[in-house]
Amino acid sequence: MAELTMVQAINLALEQEMEKDDSVHVLGEDVGVDGGVFRVTDGLLKKFGEDRVMDTPLAESAIVGMSVGMAIAGLKPVCELQFSGFSYFAFHQLEGQAARMRWRTRGRYNVPMVCRIPYGGGVRALEHHSESREAYYAHTPGLKMVIPSGPRNARALLVSAMRDPDPVIFFEGKAIYRAFREEVPDEEETIPLGESQIAREGGDLTMITYGAMTHRTLEAAEKLAEEDGIEAEVIDLLSISPLDDEKLSESVRKTGRVVIVHEAHRSFGPGAEIIARINEKSFYYLEAPIQRVTGYDVITPYFAREQDYIPDVARIITGARQAMAD
């Protein structure tokens, strides 16, 4: 077992899968010689050659569209879009092609591709480099939307995503790319898509989150235990779509109180859907209105003020206390 950063863990997943399955190809801007702007694909070109690790011309729409074609015809492309803010050039290809091909052809074709996209703020980056717009993709029928929260689950989820018969959008939090290391076993691990994890057990309050926000939420949960004696259960969603309704219901029925934490904008964000699901399945178990601690409905501000935009531990605690109020 090695202690890896999330960058290294994703690299490991790619390398091992490419070794096992020669239909897996990596393509994108600067993924070859440069090893990706975040070095996630470092070393893959050397090991697998330029047919399988493709430095493409600068064209997001073609990167995704070509991946869809490759996937239809039997390859397993893992494409990288450099930043989520650049992914909208390719939106048509994701929404109009990747997501629809199976449905449109009545199952004749499927699109087993993964689109890896760094997302989120907190790294003092430029405009278009700090957004958290997973709702666009989670809202799109036919796409799966996955967001790991650390090295070990990133590796396991990416392996599952690469083996999934349908298109998977795989968001990687820039703020946690190198923020910490975890032990990642050399032998294969997978986490089924659509399955969340309990990151902390507790019986008083359910805190639902994912991605980079999982860490601030866990920190807030520890403080709540220390300061208020509240034992919060923290659910790390891992998959935004499909949502793990079962585990959410189980926890909500136990605690009756919920706070949802995400970096994405508030309105029509993932939190809104989670609340709706809880209302549909567990409304009568609720003891207080569900709280949301989210990014605001503004364009993510330039980096001098991004920490005022991204939920911090104190804001999460405030939200949690509101959820605990009678």
Partner 1 sequence: MPRKKIKLEHSVEYLSILDEKGKPDKDLDPKIDKDTLLRMHRTMLLSRRFDEYQLRWQKQGRIGTFAPAKGQEASQIGSIAAVEDDDWMVPSFRETSVALWRGTPMSGLLLFNAGYNEGGEIPEGQNDLPISIPVASQITEAVGIAYAMKMQKKDRLVVSYFGDGATSEGDFHEALNFSQVFNTPNIFICQNNQWAISVPREQQTESRTLAQKALAYGMPGIQVDGNDPLAVYTATREAAERARKGDGPTLIECVTYRLSVHTTADDPGKYRDEEEEEKWEERDPIPRFQQYLKDRRILRKKDIDALEKEIDDEVKSAWDEVEEQIESLDDPLVMFDHLFEERPAYLEEQRQTMKQYREDNDG
Enzyme catalytic residues: 129
Cβ closest to partner 1, residue 177 vs residue 191: 177
Build a one-symbol-per-residue string for 251-290: x at contacts with partner 1 by CB under 8 A, - elsewhere.
Answer: ---------------xx-----------------------
Does residue number 298 form part of the binding site for partner 1 (CB under 8 A)? yes
The distance of closest approach from Cβ of residue 305 to partner 1 in the complex, given in angstroms and rounded to an integer, is 4
Nearest to 84, CA basis, from 143, 211, 171, 10: 171
Rule CB under 8 A: which of 13-72 touch partner 1?
A: 29-30, 32-35, 37, 55, 57-62
Does residue number 173 form part of the binding site for partner 1 (CB under 8 A)? no
Out of 23, 181, 285, 303, name the contact with partner 1 by CB under 8 A: 303
Out of 296, 313, 321, 322, name the contact with partner 1 by CB under 8 A: 296
Candidate ranges 108-116, 123-131, 147-155, 203-211; the one touching partner 1 (CB under 8 A) = 123-131
Q: Is the dihedral of CA 9, 15, 16, 18 positive or negative?
A: positive
C-alpha separations of 163 from 75, 77, 113, 205 in Å: 11, 11, 9, 35
Cβ closest to partner 1, residue 1 vs residue 59: 59
d(CA 41, CA 43): 6
Cβ closest to partner 1, residue 110 vs residue 322: 322
d(CA 144, CA 150): 19
Out of 185, 276, 305, 325, name the contact with partner 1 by CB under 8 A: 305
Nearest to 216, CA basis, from 201, 200, 229, 230: 200
Phi and psi (nearest 5°) for 37?
A: -65, -20
Give me 147's structure tokens: 């967001």
Does residue number 309 form part of the binding site for partner 1 (CB under 8 A)? yes
Residues binding partner 1: number (CB under 8 A)? 41
Count CA atoms closer than 13 A to 79's CA, side-chain side.
Answer: 34
d(CA 58, CA 83): 13
d(CA 52, CA 96): 26
d(CA 156, CA 149): 11
Q: Please say whether the beta carbons of 120 and 149 come within 8 A.
A: no
Out of 125, 158, 168, 286, name the contact with partner 1 by CB under 8 A: 125
Place of tokens 């290809």: 93
Out of 1, 2, 103, 126, name the contact with partner 1 by CB under 8 A: 126
Rule CB under 8 A: which of 213-242 touch partner 1?
A: none
The SS3 of residue 121 is coil
Residue 118 β-bridge partners? 172
Cβ closest to partner 1, residue 100 vs residue 129: 129
Give me 66's structure tokens: 């070509």
Out of 49, 124, 201, 325, name the contact with partner 1 by CB under 8 A: 124
Out of 23, 69, 75, 86, name the contact with partner 1 by CB under 8 A: 86
Which residue ranges make up the site for partner 1 (CB under 8 A)?
Answer: 29-30, 32-35, 37, 55, 57-62, 85-86, 88-89, 124-129, 266-267, 296-299, 301-306, 308-309, 314-315, 318
